[in-house]
Amino acid sequence: MVDGWRSDAFYEARRDELEKRVGPRRFKHSLGVSETAEKLARVYGADETAARVAGLLHDWDKGYDDPGILARADELGMELDAELAAMPRVLHGLTAAVALGRAFPELPPEVLAAVERHTLGDAGMSDLDMIVYIADALEPGRKGKVVEKLREKIGEIELRELFLEVYAYWVQLIMERRHPIYSKTTEIWDSYMPEQEVYRAEANPDPIPYGRP
Ligand SMILES: [Fe+2]
Ligand SMILES: [Fe+2]
């Protein structure tokens, strides 16, 4: 029998809580992300349970409206810079990671990191981070030609390559929808480019390897 956060009992209890925290559409999306993340973990050799749990929990705080999520960040004692404070839509990943870590201390840091990074992405994302990020975009409820094409690439291309394709697609979508672009987006993108890898290796004799949690 499996105990703690890996157990079916933990998953089912969080799933039932989530159903009360978000609307039915978001709840269905979360189950889709959980399923897709588990599948991606199987395909790419990552921790399937961690992926399933992180996928389920990634939108834990998505039920708040804009003033609500700002108040939530404040309550959690999070210091937001002016840019993030002006982008309430992306904050739910950050607040969820903090809140879940406090409410369920048994959740490992890698699961919380994947929840935290699912909106903005980051440099040096782990396989699990990338899996949840990709699953958020490609779960069965997401429609469209681009999404379908990307879905077909699961298992056909490397995880990092699939992540970059999904990341590029999201940045484009943000621009098309006339939303603000997070200022660290190019920095994050460049951190995955081989040219920058060489540059960083030269600039820093002890570079941080990619994939570090
Ligand atoms: Fe989200
Ligand atoms: Fe989501």
pLDDT, tens only, 28-80: 999 999 999 999 999 999 999 999 999 999 999 999 999 999 999 999 999 99
Proportion of the chain above pLDDT 70, given as a percent: 91
Res. 198 pLDDT band, cuts 50 70 90: low
Euclidean distance between CA atoms 102 and 90, whole angstroms: 20
Please tell me which residue, 195 or 95, carries the higher pLDDT value: 95
Q: What residues pack around ion ligand 1 (CB closer than 5 A)?
A: 59
Judge contact between 100 and 107, C-beta under 8 A.
yes
Tell me, in angstroms, the distance from the centre of ligand 1 to residue 110's CA. 17
Q: What residues pack around ion ligand 2 (CB closer than 5 A)?
A: 59, 136
Judge contact between 210 and 130, C-beta under 8 A.
no
Average pLDDT score over residue span 135-157: 97
- From 99, 105, 95, 121, select the one nearest 174 (Cα to Cα): 121
- Domains of the chain in start order, with CATH, are 4-203 (1.10.3210.10)
